[in-house]
Amino acid sequence: MNRREALQRTALALGYAVTGPALIGMLNGCKAAPELNYTPQFFTPEQALLIAELAEVLVPKTDTPGAKDAGVPAFIDGILKEVYPQADKDRFTKGLTDFDEEAKKTYGEPFATCSTDEKIALVKKHHEDALSKSSGGGSVGWWRAGSDGGKPFILEMKELTLLGFFTSQAGATQVLQYNQVPGPYKGCVPLAEVGKAWAT
Amino acid sequence: MNLNIEAQKQNTYDAIVVGTGISGGWAAKELTEKGLKTLVLERGRDVKHQVDYPTMTKDPWQLPHGNKLTEEELKFYPVQSRTYWVNQANKHWWVNDLENPYTEVKPFDWIRGYHAGGRSLMWGKQTYRLSDLDFESNAKDGVGIDWPIRYKDLAPWYDYVESYIGVSGQAEGIPHLPDGKFLPPMELNCVEEVFRDKLSEKFGRKLTIGRVAHLTAPLPHDPSRGVCQSRNMCDRGCPYGAYFSSNASTLPAAMKTGNMTLRPHSIVHSVIYDEQKRKAIGVRVLDANTKEEIEFFAKVIFLNASALGSTFVLLNSISSSHPQGLGNNSGHLGHYLMDHQYRTGAEADVEGFEDKYYIGRRPNGIYIPRFRNIGNDKRTDYIRGFGYQGGASRESWARGVAEMSFGADLKKSLENPGPWKIGITGFGECLPYYENKVTINADKKDIYGLPTLNIDAEWKENEKAMRKDMKESAAEMLEGAGFKNVRTYDVADNMGLGIHEMGTARMGKDQKTSVLNKWNQVHDAPNVFVTDGACMTSSACQNPSLTYMALTARAADYAVSELKKGNLK
Ligand SMILES: Cc1cc2nc3c(=O)[nH]c(=O)nc-3n(C[C@H](O)[C@H](O)[C@H](O)COP(=O)(O)OP(=O)(O)OC[C@H]3O[C@@H](n4cnc5c(N)ncnc54)[C@H](O)[C@@H]3O)c2cc1C
Ligand code: SF4
């Protein structure tokens, strides 16, 4: 079983699939001192800045809203505070600290204030590394990857970002499409007639 | 003395129904429509259709934390959350496990909802008839005892119930999965159609769209209920009343007669047995709010507190003539606990169909009726059989976590639906075993000071052998149909997780070996009827609730005619 197969296997029950080569998208916008658009309840201001910038690298603003527009940083803050048990909180914050340490060591700056290219490069390194090590997970529940059974910080962050983003109004209605009341089910329709993927 | 008589008169009805779930709602409707002044006792709060569905129209972004429970909230649901289904949108329908304890000798997931409507609000609506393959099975296999009824006894009541609640489905002419009174079937999607054709071609097996208690056309007799809009947010309560629940259907019908008194917060803990009259005369209620103990009286009592709930009430109804509980002269009350095993099967990738999609979130899937141990198919390793439920769909944005891309590329690629996947999971029959049982914990009390249930049950050899086949046959069919990368799974489930618990007060012909007769009357107390899952003599493999409804309507009809004849006083 190669890594790709392993990933596909893991991904199944959750509806994840691995497709396509890695291509890094171009980010819009120029470098500005990052600001928070909410008051964190769980993260320190420094941690919160990192989370916001990282979420935006994972799901950037393009011609449609990005993670920050969609309120993903506040969503992740809420999950950490209310949903995560203590052990997961500790693991996640440690992952976050290690990630930032590496940014400081490599670029001499905390992740949040690194340049866009630097941010992408660091994310790419962690992301590829994590996916190459991941080897199957549970068939129910959340992404569990990593040969040591742990969740690599970057994938956990990616999962939280996607969850927060695609359950947000912006993500569900502007990037994908959403209809609360679709009407009678039509089982076999040309994709061209439907357009984009359904958010749910 | 006078005061007592006055109070007793005030608390006297023609009939009492205990529980307002799928079966209790039907008892309430039938008895009130036949003119009986009926007291309906519900241990939980009242839930009015539409009015009390707080999350029914919430969009994903209006639910906190991506619909996940907080750590604090999760603490209330150590058992209920074993389903992985408890979330922000439906959390108010599951019992608080801390307040409703029971003990498990072996793991048993007792999944419940205590409120008006019971589990009719959260159920999956899959609706199938049993057939004589099922009613004759115990007698033929020499397992358990024979059912005291056959398909012909229930067929008119299946018709009656289906016509009233609205069941969407496709007539297939399968003898062991009889067709019903169907509203138009929901559509299969393109991939499911292919699977259906391949199954027929390669295996000679049927695949049909799930039969579900959803309206796919208006119901002339019940204009208050609307047609299903494919929202698939059913477990929050449906604003259209498009799926069957007690709240949308039977309870309003009962209310309309003017004959129903619905009393919420009323925990029935025992049936009152009058030693002089040598009969059951009423029930004892603990008011959940005031903790006051109240007695209510009636000529006819229907127990519909769910299989284990009704069995609890009977076991806890101790009198000098019934020291082991009412209906337990046989010693069989509480035994033969059954459920359906599932969460094993297979899934596969589907190549092609990239240019096809669907519109709507169909609250339904595909159904592959039982094909094992029928006709020429004879297994040597187990008896009985299983059906499959499942479906095909395109992967959602969630696939993005494992994608090699991130950033703008990922965002762009997730705008398209993902590849098609298909999966099926078995629902397998469970045999009745004397050792699988519930008893009363006299010393472990709940927050009301009432005794609790002790559950001691497990899957045995027949179920385990069947389970293996449920998994292997699923893979074989998906592979045979040409799907790719077929993977099996077996998420070993505890008993109870099928949420089809049944059988602890079984029907039978002989009062020495059964609790109920062929009309669902307690042998030892004929004015007490038990018409929920407790009455099941075998489990079959079909989702059972339709059968509970049909048995309830049939028993109510019988009860009223017996009352009129003066046979039940
Ligand atoms: C998520 C889920 C999916 C399901 N899917 C399906 C499906 O697709 N098809 C199918 O056929 N079945 C399905 N079921 C099972 C189905 O819900 C049950 O078979 C059905 O609800 C049983 O009906 P009932 O009347 O016996 O009990 P319930 O519906 O559980 O109702 C029992 C009622 O009695 C009340 N009660 C209990 N004890 C007392 C007491 N002591 N005093 C007063 N009141 C009391 C309860 O509060 C409750 O209101 C599903 C269940 C769940 C939870
Ligand atoms: S899918 Fe149909 S029944 Fe379910 S909530 Fe939507 S409209 Fe109601």
Range name among A32-36, A65-69, A125-129, B390-394 with the lowest pLDDT average: A32-36
**Tokens 């040597």, residue?**
B380
Q: What is the rounded CA–CA span in Å between residue B150 and residue B438?
A: 27
**Which residue from B545, B547, B551 has its CB within 8 A of the most atoms of ligand 1, so it is best to mutate?**
B545
Q: What is the rounded CA–CA span in Å between residue B539 and residue B516?
A: 16
B178 and B195 both lie in a single domain: yes
**Tokens 């914990």, residue?**
B441
Q: What is the rounded CA–CA span in Å between residue B543 and residue B524?
A: 30
pLDDT of residue A32: 55
Q: What is the rounded CA–CA span in Å between residue B468 and residue B381?
A: 10
Q: Which two tokens stand for residue B326?
A: 């009412």
**Which residue from B47, B123, B249, B312 has its CB within 8 A of the most atoms of ligand 1, so it is best to mutate?**
B123
Ligand 1 centre to CA of B10 (Å) is 30
B162 and B183 both lie in a single domain: no
pTM here? 0.94
How many separate helices (H) and strands (E) can be counted in chain A?
A: 8, 1
Q: Which two tokens stand for residue B563?
A: 């009352």
A139: which chain B residues are within 8 Å (Cβ-Cβ)? Answer: 489, 491
In a domain, A127, yes or no: yes
Cα B160 to chain centroid, rounded: 19
Q: Which two tokens stand for residue B165?
A: 């609640």
Overall domain count for chain B: 2
pLDDT tens track, chain B, 569 positions: 566 778 788 999 999 999 999 999 999 999 999 999 999 999 999 999 999 999 999 999 999 999 999 999 999 999 999 999 999 999 999 999 999 999 999 999 999 999 999 999 999 999 999 999 999 999 999 999 999 999 999 999 999 999 999 999 999 999 999 999 999 999 999 999 999 999 999 999 999 999 999 999 999 999 999 999 999 999 999 999 999 999 999 999 999 999 999 999 999 999 999 999 999 999 999 999 999 999 999 999 999 999 999 999 999 999 999 999 999 999 999 999 999 999 999 999 999 999 999 999 999 999 999 999 999 999 999 999 999 999 999 999 999 998 999 999 999 999 999 999 999 999 999 999 999 999 999 889 999 999 999 999 999 999 999 999 999 999 999 999 999 999 999 997 899 999 999 999 999 999 999 999 999 999 999 999 999 999 999 999 999 999 999 999 999 999 999 999 999 87
Q: Check: CB of residue B360 under 8 Å from CB of residue A25.
A: no
Question: Domain of B147: which CATH number?
Answer: 3.50.50.60
CB-based pocket (< 6 A), ligand 1? B 18-24, 41-44, 111, 114, 118-120, 122-126, 266-268, 304-306, 309, 313, 499-500, 532-533, 543-545, 548
Span A146-163, mean pLDDT? Answer: 82
In a domain, A137, yes or no: yes
| Residue nearest to ligand 2 atom 6, measured at CA | B231
Between B223 and A17, the more confident residue is: B223
Q: What is the rounded CA–CA span in Å between residue A157 and residue A96?
A: 9
Is the reported ipTM for this assembly greater than 0.85? Answer: yes
B233: which chain A residues are within 8 Å (Cβ-Cβ)? Answer: 180
Q: Which ligand is nearest to the CA of B547?
A: 1
Q: Check: CB of residue B342 under 8 Å from CB of residue B483.
A: no
User: Any chain B CB within 8 A of the CB of A188?
Assistant: yes
In a domain, B443, yes or no: no
Q: What is the rounded CA–CA span in Å between residue B502 and residue B484?
A: 38
With residue B164 as reference, give the H or E element that holds it.
Answer: helix B151-165
A178: which chain B residues are within 8 Å (Cβ-Cβ)? Answer: 59-60
pLDDT tier at A29, thresholds 50, 70, 90: very low
Q: Determine the distance in angstroms separating the CA of B301 from the nearest CA of chain A, rounded to an integer.
A: 41
| Ramachandran category for residue A5: left, alpha or beta (phi over 0 → left; psi -120 to 50 → alpha) | alpha
B115 and B201 both lie in a single domain: no
Q: Which two tokens stand for residue B331?
A: 């010693």
With residue A77 as reference, give the H or E element that holds it.
Answer: helix A72-78
**How many residue pairs from chains A and B have C-beta atoms closer than 8 A?**
240
B153 and B298 both lie in a single domain: yes
Percent of chain A with pLDDT over 90: 70
pLDDT of residue A136: 46
Cβ atoms within 10 Å of B217's Cβ, excluding its own: 13
Nearest chain A residue (CA) to B71: A83
Nearest chain B residue (CA) to A158: B401
Between chains, do A84 and B416 touch, taking CB under 8 Å as contact? no
pLDDT of residue B354: 97
B119 and B153 both lie in a single domain: yes
Q: What is the rounded CA–CA span in Å between residue B162 and residue A115?
A: 65
Atom of ligand 2 nearest to the CA of B229: 7
Domain range for residue B372?
171-216+341-428+459-494
A74: which chain B residues are within 8 Å (Cβ-Cβ)? Answer: none
Q: What is the rounded CA–CA span in Å between residue A88 and residue A84?
A: 6
B210 and B248 both lie in a single domain: no
Between chains, do B406 and A57 touch, taking CB under 8 Å as contact? yes
Cβ atoms within 10 Å of B329's Cβ, excluding its own: 18
Between chains, do B487 and A158 touch, taking CB under 8 Å as contact? no
pLDDT of residue B132: 98
Q: Using the predicted structure, report yes or no on whether residue A143 has a pLDDT greater than 60.
A: no
Q: Using the predicted structure, report yes or no on whether residue A10 has a pLDDT greater than 60.
A: no
| Residue nearest to ligand 2 atom 8, measured at CA | B238
3-state secondary structure of B415: coil
Query: CA distances (Å), A140 to each of A25, B82, B108, B467, B489, in order?
Result: 31, 11, 19, 19, 11
Query: CA distances (Å), B103 to each of B43, B100, B440, B544, in order?
Result: 20, 10, 10, 25
pLDDT of residue A151: 78
Domain range for residue A62?
32-175
User: In the beta sheet, which residues pair with residue B484?
Assistant: B349
List of residues 6+ apart from B163 with CB closer than 8 A: B181
In a domain, B350, yes or no: yes
In a domain, A128, yes or no: yes
B330 and B347 both lie in a single domain: no
Terminal Cα distance for chain A, rounded? 32
